[in-house]
Chains A and B, each alone.
Chain A
């Protein structure tokens, strides 16, 4: 990295820091929540992009991995004193009833468990034909939700868990997001990241170059699942509740939209797009509410319309903007400088005339 770029990066981080201080002090709770959600979606989309965009696998299991992390934090950070009030239909299973973990430990445990489940699904599928990965992960994410709904004494079943300590404030969420982004960028730019891309480009050639396909695919898949678990943990703590309905597999399509829009194989594209899509989904909420103009209710506006619009967006992107915002390129300082100097030139040109 050039010295100037280093300075710019430090300035950017400082700006983020100052922004967080200001946001924490002055923004209202709703906007803060949306900003937090954007960061959490960034982790989810980036980790999914590692699997789908960088390694060329097709996984649809992110909602499931996220659920594992969310429940881990929900169950283990819930103060023992409030557990009876939560688990009133059936008391918590004695094996875990008195286990309370610090937030960070529960968060990591959620990630590790998600990675473990990724191994269980990935080991048979990735060894044979990874065309089946999409089906297997989709099935998994539905099964995990059904299991969570039915393990009454562990997950409190369909009632979900409430009053989870909201340890994950803006600092936690942005801190973890920053660490995730840095880790994934470093991983992708390492020799392992190059091996992932080689597999994406041409499996036969990659294997002929001595790359163990199974080992690298499962590695990428497990790392992706790990971070999905982490994001799920942050999500649970941010909302202070978990509910199996939060993790319906359509949630995964949100992340898919983010990475397709941002560019399969672009970290910066994914980050930008995570903010656009998450904020967009919030803004589009009004589509789901009944709408009446001059007393005439428009029948189109009903719950679900948001998802229709959403699917149309996805189709338009896939049909007309194959590469998304960034393709597989990365935003860097040189590019920004280029943009800036072009603009300043244009301004100067305008002055000259």
Chain B
């Protein structure tokens, strides 16, 4: 295995017309870490995720995954390499069942072609069986078993967020990107979530890179934190370093009235 960081961005910049959404962002995420990306609204966090997952190609800069240049690859190619994500505004397959949502995420590892799949060759039947078992296991793990055959959009909000993580894991990632997983959750749910993230991280051998506004969650679970403001990296380090950084305090005071 490569010794360097699992994910590394080298001064990536994203410009939308005149707007510089992210400027010269350099991030390193090491294997097994939980790293957070924080910053006020519009700081460029989601844009950074979108560059890493191939939704946008950076205007400049390079992205490396396990030492490999992945800049400019398509999102599906990046997922295949082992980076999975969730979305800030949940993007489930709304009209499909919970089970199908997870099952679809197994498709990328399928070896059978469409003919042998449609004609139900032995190899395909075996693969289908395995995908079903894996999906069911994930669904159980995420406490969604009793909603298995429900339509995804009928789940309560918190469970939809959970399902999105389950679906991401079905792609068998090594690196999991979570875009505001605790959005819309109450303090108790948030606390449960942080324990849950730790648990799945250990169980599935993951590295986690997350965006979050709930500071308690961030401070509690992150090994390291990057802080963005107006696309610029204004601080990085441990929770303690970041909390005491005057620029961070200023950025948050300037934006959040209740900070």
Contact = CB atoms under 8 A, between A and B. Distances in A.
Interface of A: 183, 186-187, 190-192, 194-195, 197-198, 201-202, 204-213, 219, 223, 328
Contacts of A202: 91-94
Nearest to B81: A210
Interface in B165-180: 167-168, 170-171
Nearest to B79: A210
Interface in B74-98: 74-76, 79-80, 84-85, 87, 91-96
Contacts of B112: 191
Contacts of B76: 207-213
19 contacts: A186-B118, A187-B114, A190-B117, A191-B107, A194-B96, A197-B100, A198-B104, A201-B93, A201-B95, A204-B91, A205-B87, A207-B74, A208-B87, A209-B170, A209-B171, A210-B107, A212-B76, A219-B114, A328-B95
A162 B108 CA distance: 49
A266 to B, nearest CB: 13
Nearest to A189: B118
A190 B121 CA distance: 11
B117 A191 contact: yes
A186 B92 contact: no
Contacts of B55: 204, 208
Given A210-B76, A211-B108, A205 B118 contact: no
Contact of A192 (B80, B103, B106, B118): B118
Contact of B94 (A187, A201, A223): A201
A37 to B, nearest CB: 27
B119 A206 contact: no
Contacts of A194: 96, 100, 103-104, 107
Given A191-B128, A209-B167, A210-B79, A186 B120 contact: yes
A195 B91 contact: no
A183 B171 CA distance: 28
Contacts of A186: 118-120
A197 B104 CA distance: 9
Contact of A195 (B75, B107, B119): B107
B81 to A, nearest CB: 9
A197 B107 contact: no
Nearest to B124: A190
B131 interface: yes
Given A204-B55, A205-B93, A209-B79, A195 B118 contact: no
A111 to B, nearest CB: 14
Contacts of A198: 93, 96, 104, 107
Interface in B153-195: 167-168, 170-171
A208 B94 contact: no
A205 B95 CA distance: 13
A194 B167 CA distance: 14
Contact of B75 (A183, A201, A207, A328): A207
B100 A183 contact: no
Interface string B106-133: 1111101010011110001001100100
B88 to A, nearest CB: 12
A209 B107 contact: yes
